[in-house]
Amino acid sequence: MDWQSSADTVPSSFISEAQARSLLGKPPATGAWRDGDPVGNRRFVDIGPLGFEAGGFLPHVRLAYESWGELSPAADNAILVLHALTGDSHVIGDPGNGHATGGWWDGMIGPGRVIDTDRWFVIAPNMLGGCQGSTGPSTPAPDGVEWGIRFPYLTIRDQVAAQIVLADKLGIDRFAAVIGGSMGGMHALEWAIEVPDRVERLAVLAAPPLTTADQVAQNSVQIEAIRTDPLFRSGAYYDAPDGDGPTRGLALARRMALINYRSPGELNTRFERSWQSEISPLGSGGRFAVESYLDFHGNKFTRRFDANSYITLVEAMNSHDVGRGRGGIAAAIGRISADTLVLGIDSDRLFPLAGQREIARLLPNNIDGSAPVVLESAFGHDGFLIELDDVGTHLRRLLAD
């Protein structure tokens, strides 16, 4: 789910002094990119008004995106890369100049790399409802006040509908490949089901055909952690007089999520029962190293994300069910005509292998027959972000002529 985790990985079991210093000072009320901030590598496309599945409406929508390579004269070499819940359009590149973190897939895209930009034109949009340049809750509404909790309820299909308009605006009628992992994999599936003639190849990485009740339950607790923060202020925290936002609730939601992004084996091996304090573990005033790790990443997250966006995007993820209104999952996946790679991770406790196995079994054109590629990794769900050599090997197969 979290495309930023590989960039955020702390190499040791303990948080360094330099890392701790990076979080000194009061966090902002929102970590959203705002108009007037450095643009960095972002580009913007206005896609006009949009209506949504649940009846909501936005009078004006803008999507931010980044791109690499050159679109061919025939516009037949475009690849769409779709980020996960807390990712954004900054797939590769350094932090700074308006980008809070470095690229979440550095090493995967570029000249001579797995997704070779000497051959392919690659675009990565920040999803609708996000907080890094695309229209979302932190964007001013027509009355000049941020949308906040007034932002319409979005589904995965609504977000894909916005991406389809973006492709139209860029003159791309058909993608050579659509690639997504976790929540981005949900978008990729919807692309291939909703407009199958516009997707030649498809890669679904660590994503399910629907969000299960168990997953909705976990998501609901994260949302409640934000809403019960007294500084959430019913979502109207952007211009609070004291400058305080719901950073404690957002950090707690992030900590909850991060547990599911990694595997029990990895956390147990990496941290064991290490105690990050000179005080005896039987005393008071200290904490376990794994607690310090979660706290560090929760606090860091508040400096690059927006609490209202987190709620909006998690609720969109809860809507995911490719079979809804299409006669069930089998009928929906049967509409996919693209050559497809399905990849799952053996230690993934967020979106377990059962989901990828169901997708792979139902696909008309699975490049691996009726089974998914199973990545053996100690890193859990985040394995598709970290095990770049293995993931790259399979993406090369998909992209080969």
CATH code for position 178: 3.40.50.1820
Tell me, yes or no, if 182 is annotated catalytic.
yes
Residue in this structure with the two tokens 């169901």, named with its chain if needed: 358
8 A C-beta contact, residue 80 and residue 87: no
| Block mean pLDDT (10 aa), the chain, length 401 | 42 43 74 96 98 97 98 98 97 95 95 98 98 98 98 98 98 98 98 98 98 96 98 95 92 93 81 69 68 88 97 98 98 98 97 98 97 95 94 98 74
Q: How far is CA 324 from CA 41, 142, 153, 155, 177, in A?
A: 37, 33, 17, 12, 24
Task: Write down the catalytic residue from 309, 348, 377, 394.
Answer: 348
Hey, is 202 helix, strand or coil? strand
pLDDT at 278: 56
Give the contacts of 40 (CB within 8 A, at least 6 positions apart): 90, 96, 97, 98, 99
- What is residue 375's DSSP assignment? E
Cα angle 21-30-383, degrees, rounded to a multiple of 5: 70
Number of domains in the chain: 1
The phi, psi pair for 286, rounded to 5°, reads -115, -170
Tell me, yes or no, if 297 is annotated catalytic.
no
Q: How far is CA 46 from CA 91, 118, 162, 344, in A?
A: 21, 28, 10, 35
DSSP-assigned letters across all residues of 35-86: BTB--TT-EEEEEEEEE-TTS-EEEEEEEEEEEES---TTS--EEEEE--TT
The phi, psi pair for 246, rounded to 5°, reads -80, 55
- In angstroms, the CA 176 to CA 400 distance is 11
Residues of the domain holding 272: 5-399
Q: How far apart are the first and last CA of the chain?
A: 30
8 A C-beta contact, residue 137 and residue 129: yes
Task: Write down the catalytic residue from 5, 6, 138, 182.
Answer: 182
Task: Write down the catalytic residue from 83, 297, 381, 394.
Answer: 381
Hey, is 343 helix, strand or coil? strand
pLDDT at 264: 79
pLDDT at 3: 41
Tell me, yes or no, if 348 is annotated catalytic.
yes
